[in-house]
Structure 1
Amino acid sequence: MRRAFTIACLAAALILPMAAAQPPSRSPRTNYMTNCQGCHLPGGEGMYGKVPPMRGHLANFLTVPGGREFLIRVPGVANSTLNDSDLAALINWLVPAMGPDVPGGFVPYTSDEIHRLRRMRLQDVNTLRAALIEQMSADRRAAMLGAASR
């Protein structure tokens, strides 16, 4: 009896810390609400002059070289406390949720890709964002720049 109790205690001592270290994943929508909407607001509209809108603009970055990487390297994403898997699920949910239409051939982000990209810190987010917008098609660029002037 004593031996069984000792083994059970040792097993619990080994298993409980592992369970505590990996909290259960929450839905991407819940992760957006708790990690993103404080700045980007519930509908992804952003805050004029401070936080760019995502609604109607996010997928535009997927149409230009470097845009896919940019979405993960921005400070709010790269520095997120979410693990790589939950962050991949969040971004994969956000892209179609915020629009505009997801470009054909979109490949969902993987946790490995998130892991690699979020470690490549951006030095000047605004300059890179502007350069990516300049590469967009005229209609996408006009939509992006129109949102910046609202």
Structure 2
Amino acid sequence: MKLHPVSALLGAAALAAGVIAGGTVLAETPHRTPRTNFILRCVGCHGMDGSGSEKGGIPDFRNYVGAFSRDEAGRTYVMHVPGVVNANLSNAEIAEVMNYLMKTFGGTSLPKDYHPFDTAEVDKLRAVPVKDIVGLRRDISASLAKQGITTAGYPWP
């Protein structure tokens, strides 16, 4: 069957626009704000207010999460928590969400000299092998406690 040139042009335009048979096909995922990615990827466990659930093993972000931004070990830890590992976000988006979390929920735990995560750092830290995320958190929390810095309750053994 031969298409009329105008029909062929309209068909090509529809494909280029990403509209096929009534459904939308996007060539690229649209950029979402860090807050939107937080809502889509983190709220299910941590809640909109960042409170988490100690009983459920989900740490409270509020006035605690910033403590993990103080050194490379803590920054590595937050790149390997299950919510980040399974977030299906690019490393640039992870950096944005992490900075959103730190600034929104870090409160008194966020160091005055906080330096934001960037894509290159996220690339580097996510490449570090972490075999025991619970053990790493335990070690970091103990180190922070020696410095007088508290972290959220965490019930895992």
Q: Shared topology, TM-score over 0.5?
A: yes
Task: Please name the residue that 1:117 is paired with.
Answer: 125
118-127 or 80-89, larger mean C-alpha shift = 118-127
> What CA distance in whole angstroms lies between the structure 1 residues aligned with 2:95 and 2:68?
16
What value does the CA root-mean-square deviation take over the aligned residues? 3.0
Structure 1 segments of 4+ aligned residues over 6 angstroms from their partners: 11-15
The equivalences for 1:65-144 within 5 A come to: 65-101=72-108, 102-136=110-144, 137-140=146-149, 143-144=150-151
Evaluate the alpha carbon distance shift between residue 64 and residue 113 of structure 1 in structure 2; reply closer, same or farther with a 3 A threshold: closer
1:34 matched to 2:40? The reply is: yes
Task: Please name the residue that 1:53 is paired with.
Answer: 60
Q: Which runs of 5+ in 2 are unaligned?
A: 19-24
* Superposition deviation, residue 148 in structure 1: 4.2
SS at match of 2:99: helix
- What is the letter of the counterpart of residue 67 of structure 2? N
SS at match of 1:139: coil
Q: Deviations over 1:98-134 (max 9, x none)?
A: 1133213322111222233234353211110010011
* Superposition deviation, residue 62 in structure 1: 1.9
More helix by share: 1
- What is the letter of the counterpart of residue 70 of structure 1? Y
- Please say if residues 60 and 100 of structure 1, whose CA atoms lie closer than 8 Å, have aligned partners that are also in contact: no
**Higher alpha-carbon Rg:** 2
- Please say if residues 75 and 125 of structure 2, whose CA atoms lie closer than 8 Å, have aligned partners that are also in contact: no
Evaluate the alpha carbon distance shift between residue 66 and residue 42 of structure 1 in structure 2; reply closer, same or farther with a 3 A threshold: same
* Superposition deviation, residue 138 in structure 1: 4.2
> What CA distance in whole angstroms lies between the structure 2 residues aligned with 1:64 and 1:109?
12
> What CA distance in whole angstroms lies between the structure 2 residues aligned with 1:121 and 1:33?
28
- Please say if residues 84 and 111 of structure 1, whose CA atoms lie closer than 8 Å, have aligned partners that are also in contact: yes
